[in-house]
Amino acid sequence: MQQPPSPPSLLLTLVLGLWIVVGPSPALAVTTTPDNTLGQSLVYPKDANILLGALFPIHTRQRDVATGVNVCGELQDEEGIQPLEAMLYTLDQINEDPDLLPGVKLGALVMDSCNAPNLALNQTLGFIKGYLAGHNKYHQSEFTCGDGSAPTYRGGEFDKVVGVIGGQQSSVSVQMASVLRVIELPQISYLSTSATLSNKDRYPFFLRTVPSDTTQAQAILRVLQDFKWTYASIVYSSGEYGEGGFHQLLKKASEYNVCFPTPHHRLSSDDSEDDYKRVVTALIKGKANVVVVFAEKQVALRLLETVRLRGQQNRFLWLGSDGWSSSSLMNVEAVAEGAISVQPLIRSLPGFDEYFTNLTPVTNTRNPWFTEYWQHLGCALDAPTCPSVGENYRQVPWLHFVRDSVIAFAHALHTMWEDKCKGRKGLCEAMVHNGHIHGQDLYNHLLNVQFPDVSNSTFRFVSSGSGPARYSVLNYQHDDHYAYSWTKVGTYTNTTGATAELHLDMDSVKYRDSQDFPESSCGIPCKPGQAKILMTDKCCWYCKNCQSYQYLNTTTQLCVDCGECMKPEVGQEKCVDKEEKFIDYKNRWAITSLAFASIGIFSTVLVGVIFWVHLDTPVIKASSRELSYILLGGIFFSFVMSFVIVAPPSRMTCGLTRFFLGFIYTVCYAAILTKTNRISRIFNQNITKSQKAKFTSPFSQVVIVSLLVSVEVIINVVWLLMHNPDIKYMCDRASDFRTRICGGLDDYTYIVGLIYPSLLVLLCTLYAIKTRKCPDGFNEARYIAFTNYTTCLIWLVFVPLYLSTGSSDDIRIVTLAMFLSLGGFVQLGCLFFPKVYIVLFKPEKNTRDVIMSVKRNSYPVDTSFKTSGRFPSLPLQERPALQSSPAIFFHNGAMDSPLETQKHPAKAAAISAGATGTVVLCPPRHTSKTLPPLSTETPRRASKMFLSVIQNKDSDPPAF
């Protein structure tokens, strides 16, 4: 046989021993009073097989002035007598149902709690005593009476209690649950909503048919949110109910944009009048026009009464919890007018009105407190009717929760009967275990019950052991006859665990004399895109507009900067990427640079064609044709690169830009450097040595250029591998766009590629200086120098202009493109246009004589070089004593000096007459020093050496 779990033996021994010493209670009185109500109990029906214990606040609680302890006060008709009769009414319906607990009669054992936790605790000990007596009788006999019989408690009715209904207030239910857990007796409360009672570790056998204060607090906050009351004071009562609700309100307030100013106000029913006056004074001085009262009835009524005495009955709108807002508000109706409350779902108990109004002391003998109730209404005991019943009766709106508590026990017992008794009528041994039903088994069946409630909706307990979240929103109104009542104006439900739904009939909600509802906010509600800046009191604030580049953080209510490449969306609730922008071929700046580059491409091609047509003329041959075409290729690509730079940025275009930016200048200046180096080696070599300059052939020059260019190629390839081309965005807060550019436009990536070309430019400048005294056809020193100087000037202008454009990438890219085009035009204009001009417009200068001539305008040289000297007009004795190196002439393939022309007057005449084939190679070098006599062999040796150099078949420019 299965035995019930044994409670702590020490506790059982002490309680049962105390009961034996005290003995059984005296006989119960028929008529109750506040003094003897704690000794009264209701047991109905007498032949019940199973009893449900119950504690109802039949009387109020009051403090004894002499002793300072809680005692029972006046009788409560609405909150005491009505729930008791609702339980008896429901039991009658259960016992009349043949399909529910067949063969079993369910009864009730009811006691008065007087709405006091300590008194309820004492009453609950009766269930402990009854359990111990039954355990001693049916299971393990440890105690006996003097005659040897097993002791019984109050006639043995308490032995049949299998569960308890109650209490009403949370503080009472906490005391009951703490005791009943010892004997594993299930408990169902019909109105206790404290969130503390959901703690299954402390109260493992507690259930309730109403929802928890956690959801009630959310419902209150939702009402505040819908009315846009963001600032409200709060008053709560001490104890489990008020303090639990208060903490839930504070915990959830921020989620609903509601703020409760400090200090918060706690009151109890035992506080003095000065305490209440202090709280009311603080409320009046505050800025809040709405006060949330999460308190028990006694606290709320005293608070409203204090406000009335202060003459501030129109000062506040009250938002109440279920602890007081469902009761009659005698003497404070005008103060509470317009109040809004949240109550567990209000439903009328069908048939109860007719049942209750027909009760009389004669017909209702099972209720020992009904006679007192009859007298409380001012009716005689022998009166067959009492008009006051009909005049003062109003069904309490939460009686259906009492009904659900009783029905839940009945259905749990029925499912247990089906499991244990297998359809046999009455209680079977497997269910009662020798007269005792296990509390744990019954509790498990209670968790799984399902039955229709008064609205024909399915009732079931949620995981926390509470009823589903169903609330009614009430409004305290008065009608045309100045009668006040709570009127239902909305509902709040959350039965599925998803988002709760609040439905308010705003047309039915009324304030005082139909006035508009007051505002309650310590700051003006901020508009979208405005930050809430808190003041000294964290509930007060002022609004500040967010900047155009900021968004509003809805969690902190502060403005937060968006990234430079992001902007706030409409409403400034979050940041989004700015619209992408990049330069393309449709941009006006791009069109300008491309038009400039197109002119350069056309000019380069035209110069190339002219060079090709006049390829064999002296001017073109003297310019080193192969190197000139390499230079033209570099210039051509400098113009073409504008189309790549202006193209929409991609990894491909960015890589090409980085590679060709330095590559183009390297090609150009490698060709110029090779040309100037060749001319320098040919014309500035030591003519005393009978050898020609090396590596002066066209093939050698191409190889040298290739080697110089290959260095830049290696540099660029390595740098591209180390720093891959990528896309990035340039952003400015003042702009609504983010500009897509190549990664590296604003760093040192391009500088690396320009270091090597800069060295070539420097070397070209040096060699240009060295070749400044060569024949005019080969002397490009001033052109190359001008090209280099102009290029350096362009670079000096480009760098600050490029860096000073900020994030305007259109100008940056165009600046880079124009930089390349200007460099190409400078090289094209300085190095090619003079030759093109001679070829096209001065063909008389495109001869070998002119190309090989040297002009020195700094000295008044007599080109006839007659023996009379440099100053023929002066007398011989007045001419300065100057010595000059002899001029060397090339005449019909022979080299002649002035000495030889003196020996051959015919040659001299031919030269002075400008005979064909006479070319002056180099002018005489004048010096103020007296030179030694020049032998006739020296000019001949120099002439042969220079002739062998310039007639080198592998040398393109000098070989005519």
Handedness of CA 403, 405, 406, 411 (dihedral sign): positive
Residue 443 pLDDT greater than 90, yes or no: yes
Distance of alpha carbon 254 from alpha carbon 265, whole angstroms: 19
What is the DSSP annotation of 887-917?
Answer: PEEEETTEEE-HHHHHH-HHHHHHHHTT-TT
Residue 692: band (very low, low, confident or very high) from pLDDT cuts 50, 70, 90: low
Tally Cβ neighbours within 10 Å of residue 954: 12
Residue 427 pLDDT greater than 90, yes or no: no
Helix (H) or strand (E) holding 59: strand 59-63
Amino acid present at 667: V
Residue 898: band (very low, low, confident or very high) from pLDDT cuts 50, 70, 90: very low
- Between residues 577 and 141, the one the model is more confident about: 577
- On the question of a cis peptide bond just before residue 244, with omega within 30 degrees of 0, the verdict is no
Distance of alpha carbon 652 from alpha carbon 662, whole angstroms: 17
Show the tokens assigned to 634. Answer: 């570099």
Residue 580 pLDDT greater than 70, yes or no: yes
Distance of alpha carbon 56 from alpha carbon 401, whole angstroms: 13
Distance of alpha carbon 667 from alpha carbon 631, whole angstroms: 7
Structural fold of domain 19-210+350-394+398-447: Rossmann fold (3.40.50)
Distance of alpha carbon 918 from alpha carbon 921, whole angstroms: 10
Distance of alpha carbon 704 from alpha carbon 673, whole angstroms: 10
- Matching residue, tokens 């304030």: 511
Show the tokens assigned to 187. Answer: 């408990």
Distance of alpha carbon 182 from alpha carbon 175, whole angstroms: 12
- Matching residue, tokens 């029972």: 72
Distance of alpha carbon 631 from alpha carbon 668, whole angstroms: 5
Q: What would the mean pLDDT of 755-774 be, rounded to a whole number?
A: 77
Taking CA atoms, 588 is separated from 592, 646, 650, 664, 725, in Å, by 6, 11, 21, 26, 26
Show the tokens assigned to 75. Answer: 């009788």
What is the DSSP annotation of 293-333?
Answer: EE--HHHHHHHHHHHHHTT-TTT-EEEE-TTTTTS--TT-H
Count Cβ neighbours within 10 Å for each residue of 593-632 and write b for 16 or more, e otherwise: bbebbeebbebbeebbebbeebeebbbbbbbbbbbbebbb
Taking CA atoms, 708 is separated from 19, 466, 536, 767, 771, in Å, by 116, 89, 74, 16, 21
**What are 528-556's pLDDT values in tens digits?**
778 888 776 667 778 888 888 888 887 77
Residue 94 pLDDT greater than 80, yes or no: yes
Show the tokens assigned to 899. Answer: 């000495």
**What are 139-187's pLDDT values in tens digits?**
666 666 766 666 777 777 888 899 999 989 888 999 999 999 998 999 9
The reported pLDDT for the residue numbered 148 is: 60
Q: In this structure, are residues 210 and 192 in contact, taking their beta carbons and an 8 Å threshold?
A: yes
Tally Cβ neighbours within 10 Å of residue 789: 14
Domain-wise residue ranges, the chain: 19-210+350-394+398-447, 213-349+468-514, 530-577, 588-685+756-849, 854-950
Taking CA atoms, 113 is separated from 40, 41, 109, 267, 543, in Å, by 11, 11, 13, 22, 53
Q: In this structure, are residues 254 and 538 in contact, taking their beta carbons and an 8 Å threshold?
A: no
- Per CATH, 19-210+350-394+398-447 and 213-349+468-514 having the same topology is answered yes
- Between residues 785 and 158, the one the model is more confident about: 158
| Residue partners of 599: CB distance under 8 A and separation at least 6 | none
Residue 819: band (very low, low, confident or very high) from pLDDT cuts 50, 70, 90: confident
**What are 455-513's pLDDT values in tens digits?**
888 899 988 899 988 898 999 988 777 788 888 899 998 766 667 888 999 888 999 87
Helix (H) or strand (E) holding 109: strand 106-112
**Helix-, strand-, coil-residue percentages of the chain, each rounded to 5:** 45, 15, 40
359-368, 515-524, 769-778: lowest mean pLDDT where?
A: 769-778
Residue 17 pLDDT greater than 60, yes or no: no
- Between residues 852 and 569, the one the model is more confident about: 569
Distance of alpha carbon 557 from alpha carbon 559, whole angstroms: 7
Q: In this structure, are residues 369 and 30 in contact, taking their beta carbons and an 8 Å threshold?
A: no
**What are 825-856's pLDDT values in tens digits?**
888 888 888 888 888 888 888 777 776 665 54
Q: What mean pLDDT value characterizes the chain? A: 78
**What are 641-686's pLDDT values in tens digits?**
888 888 888 888 888 888 888 888 888 888 888 887 877 777 766 5
Structural fold of domain 213-349+468-514: Rossmann fold (3.40.50)
Report the largest interatomic distance among the alpha carbons of the chain, rounded to a whole angstrom: 181
**What are 234-277's pLDDT values in tens digits?**
999 998 888 989 999 999 888 888 888 888 899 998 899 999 99
Q: In this structure, are residues 575 and 552 in contact, taking their beta carbons and an 8 Å threshold?
A: no
Handedness of CA 661, 663, 664, 666 (dihedral sign): positive
308-317, 712-721, 832-841, 859-868: lowest mean pLDDT where?
A: 859-868
Closest to 510 measured CA to CA, from 483, 535, 474:
474
Percent of the chain whose predicted confidence (pLDDT) is above 90: 26
Q: C-alpha angle 639/645/651, rounded to 5°?
A: 135
Beta bridge partners of 459: 451
Chain centroid to CA 925: how far?
85
What is the DSSP annotation of 436-478?
Answer: ---HHHHHHHHHT--EE-TTSPEE---TTSPPPEEEEEEEEEE
- Between residues 617 and 572, the one the model is more confident about: 617
Show the tokens assigned to 865. Answer: 């070089």
